[in-house]
A and B are shown apart, each in its own frame.
Chain A
Amino acid sequence: MQNLNKTALYNEMEKVGGKMVDFFGWALPIHFGSILAEHKIVREHCGIFDVSHMGQIFVEGKDAYKFIQLINTNNVKNEAGRGAYSHIPNDNGGIIDDVINFCLSEEKFLIIVNASTQEKDFEWFNKKATGLDVKITNESKNFSMLAVQGPEAMQIIEKLEPKALEIKRFGILACQIFGQDSFITRTGYTGEDGVEVIIPHSTAPKIWQFFLENGSKPCGLGARDILRLEAGYLLYGADIDDTHSPIEAGYGWVVKLKNDREYPSKEIFAKQKAEGVKTKLTGFVVSGGVPRSGCEILYNGNVVGKLTSGVFSPLFKGIGVGYIPTDLPEDAEFEINFGNRMGKAQKTKIPFYNNKV
């Protein structure tokens, strides 16, 4: 753990049994005792996750909204307090990152980016900002971030900030928490209702304690991966990357074409939407073992793809997603190669789990 980045909550998490692992260069807990128990807590009560590895990039200036429209496939409202999940496309029909854009004011936006893509994003943003009146600052190092997730999350966050209840899905509230400028967003990566709080490192341990004392349980990356895959959320670097398009990933809904703004690869995406794609990210329920990323997907004995994500889901047993050709028969039967044996795979719609948040 010595060469890894540590979040402001490292010691707090170790104290309550966090089993730390290397996650893209960050020391983060894989679990606090049981991945399955933590999964259940989030589906039924409330769990908290340290997501301080996520990045915060601010965009400010007269052309801030113009810039936002230039880099995103999805429409983002220029209305303080609103936000939108979106993809950042490259010039070749691939995805640089999947992000959430928040409007803080007419001329100021906050983009939440993935940990592993931060530097690449920052570079791309600066390139795209050429000639525009915007200042782009990567403040990822200055913030801690906590995800508070589950059916009981809102009643717990209410005790910290009553106004949090008024935040719309994908909305943001700028507020003070323990006397420090902070943000609360109605977002998450679990498929449950809840918030994420973006806070300075100085108050992070105090806020962590507050959530624990008010009935939430610490949860790790293991549970987070099951929860997000059940909910059909993509993991950048696994399910999507610089070479797959949002349409291939089944996220055509984040690619908005009916507008007069230009963004990279818009024409490629329009063509893909009109003519279809050759491969598509497909969901599978797998029996006979636990599917893992990298497992081969077979049809008629031939390898037609590989799982990009796979987990044991307490709700569905084995679940996984992977890119397969779109020209296979609708009722095709698939097999998964676990490495040392085979299992059956049933094609299923994504998301596997939908709690309508």
Chain B
Amino acid sequence: MYKAEECKYAKSHEWVHVDGDIATVGISDHAQKEISDIVFVELPEIGKQVEAGKQAAVVESVKSASDFYAPVSGEVVEVNEAVKSEPSLTNQEAHGKGFFFKIKLSKPEELDNLLSFDDYKASL
């Protein structure tokens, strides 16, 4: 689990959990509730360079398709294969089994641009 309280957030509802220079990312619990039944997740390939604020994945629910923006920049080092075959994992555990991928941080200072858990909560 990547405790919601320990994560940082983008305004566009992505969370980041940092461990050393590895950032795990996913969508917030609030976001998964809003978009409801997730039925399709397209994730980047391992090795891909993602850039903060740029589209890096697609999340589709029964109702709509949403872009997922990388909250921080770096190289994708791990992709959650489980969520690709069972997208509902993100509905069940947005901060756990339903994470999206892991990034090796190239600009750790970008973390300062993200919201704390309390600030994110207050923004909803």
Interface residues of A (CB under 8 A from B): 30-31, 34-36, 222, 226, 289-290, 292, 311-312, 317, 338-341
Contacts and interface: CB of A to CB of B under 8 A. Distances in A.
A185 to B, nearest CB: 28
B36 A34 contact: yes
Interface string B39-82: 11010000000000001001010110101000000000000000
Interface of B: 36-37, 39-40, 42, 55, 58, 60, 62-63, 65, 67
Given A289-B42, A312-B40, A35 B60 contact: no
Nearest to A338: B65
A290 B40 contact: yes
13 contacts: A30-B63, A35-B37, A35-B62, A36-B37, A36-B39, A222-B62, A290-B60, A290-B62, A311-B62, A312-B60, A338-B65, A340-B55, A341-B42
B62 to A, nearest CB: 4
Contact of B63 (A222, A317, A338, A340): A222
B23 to A, nearest CB: 24
Contact of B37 (A34, A289, A317, A339): A34
Contacts of B36: 31, 34-35
Contacts of A340: 55, 58, 67
Nearest 10 pairs between A and B by C-beta?
A312-B39, A35-B62, A290-B60, A36-B37, A312-B62, A290-B40, A35-B37, A289-B40, A34-B37, A222-B62
Given A34-B37, A36-B62, A312-B40, 20 more contacts: A34-B36, A35-B37, A35-B62, A35-B63, A36-B37, A36-B39, A222-B63, A226-B62, A289-B42, A289-B58, A289-B65, A290-B39, A290-B60, A290-B62, A290-B65, A312-B37, A312-B39, A317-B39, A340-B58, A341-B42
Contacts of A226: 62
B37 A292 contact: no
A341 B39 contact: no
A55 B95 CA distance: 46
Contacts of A341: 42, 58
Contacts of A289: 40, 42, 58, 60, 65
B57 to A, nearest CB: 11
A350 B67 CA distance: 32
Contacts of A30: 63
Interface centre among A30, A35, A312, A338 (most CB of B within 10 A): A312
Contacts of B58: 289, 340-341
Contacts of B60: 289-290, 312
B58 to A, nearest CB: 7
B5 to A, nearest CB: 26
Contacts of B62: 35-36, 222, 226, 290, 311-312
B94 to A, nearest CB: 15
A145 B60 CA distance: 32
Contacts of B55: 340
Instruction: Among A317, A338, A341, find the residue whose CB has the most chain B CB atoms closer than 10 A.
Output: A338
Contacts of B42: 289, 341
A339 B58 CA distance: 11
A157 B86 CA distance: 37
Nearest to A317: B39
Nearest to A289: B40
A342 B55 CA distance: 17
